[in-house]
Amino acid sequence: MNKKLVNKADGAVDEALSGYVAANAGLQLLEGHRVVVRADIDSLIAQGKVTLLSGGGSGHEPAQSGYVGHGMLSAVVCGDIFASPPPAAIFAALKAIASPAGTLVIVTNYTGDRLNFGIAVERAKAEGMKVAVVIVGDDCALPNTGNSAGRRGLAGTVLVHKLAGAKAELGCGLAEVFDTAFNAAKNAATMSVSLSPCIVPGRDPSFHLEKNEMEFGLGVHGEPGIRKMEVQPAEVVIKWMLDHLTSQDPEYQHFYAKPGSDVALMINNLGGTSVLELLIIAKSAIKYLTIFNVARVYIGRFMTSLEMAGVSLTVLNLCDKDWIQYLDFQTTAPAWHNSFDANS
């Protein structure tokens, strides 16, 4: 039996959002929609600042609703568990945060999200709203085919939120905020490993792994990865992941940074991994990345797959000298973790 602390499976998302807003005075729900909005949105718009919207299926908490707040997102649209939100809800969110300075929409690279956000954005533009879109596909598990269609949006999306959110909060225009988000998305790469499946309330496990088996390169909804193997020591697993992430093979090369470059490292708990394991993983990952200057390290739950046991590693090339400042920029987003400085 799959045990969950919910009331009704089909009401889990709405109850979770209500609980999240009840616990955070800086957030509010848009009436009639699964949209979390900054409580000070009217003040933000009155100041003429660019607003930021993101969203997607639920079940990845704290993504994306946990990143609404000063210095990050203005609003987030939530769908059912592992399902894209409908265009009507996305359009309602765009209307609620419409700013004379414009709105940047950050979309993870999944077919449903691209389709539904695309429909809503076109409708918003038709009604005179100023909107730009950035697609994030930081997944580096799949072969590089020359286009990004197969590269899924993973935990690197959170770093895009942070950089773009700081830029917008500082009063930069839509073109500048877009450029920062676009370049951040282009310079982030993520690789994941899973030790167990996730279980949507009221359903069976999303996939199967043998008792002593792990799988590399899964998507956050349990989409198939690229390799299964017996469970190995953490340092072996991390080496394999980062070998793949930093590969110079043209078929797989997604991450570009010269030796000595500043990078940020995100160690993301996929849901059911202990802090003990995360810290062991951090030790191995930082040691592996000594070819670079690991300027910031983030450890915790950033984008989960319900209770999946596993981890994803994201490496961001800090190719803009101001990006460390933007990562350190103050935010009230409840789910953002302050970084470790591996060089202090």
CA atoms within 13 A on the CB side of 247: 18
Local structure of residue 112 (DSSP, 8 states): H
What residues pair up with 308 in beta bridges, in sequence order?
Answer: 271
**Dist CA 73 CA 38 (whole Å):** 8
State the Cα–Cα distance between residues 52 and 107, nearest whole angstrom. 11
Q: Residues 298, 266: contact at Cβ < 8 Å?
A: yes
Q: What SS3 class is residue 58?
A: strand
Tokens representing residue 192 in the block: 């994941």
Report how far Cα 117 is from the mean position of its chain's Cα atoms: 16
Q: Residue 33 in 3-state DSSP?
A: coil
Set 221, 244, 254, 337: catalytic member: 221
Cα separation, 130 vs 114, in Å, equals 18
Return the SS3 of 85.
coil
Tokens of residue 188, six digits: 């982030």
Q: Which helix (H) or strand (E) holds 281?
A: helix 275-288
Is 221 tagged catalytic? yes
Contacts of 54 (CB under 8 A, 6+ apart): 64, 67, 73, 76, 77, 105, 106, 107, 157, 161
Query: Following DSSP, what letter does each residue of 192-248 receive, concatenated?
Result: EEESS--B-TTS-BSS---TTEEEES--TT----SEEEE---HHHHHHHHHHHHT--
Positions marked catalytic: 221
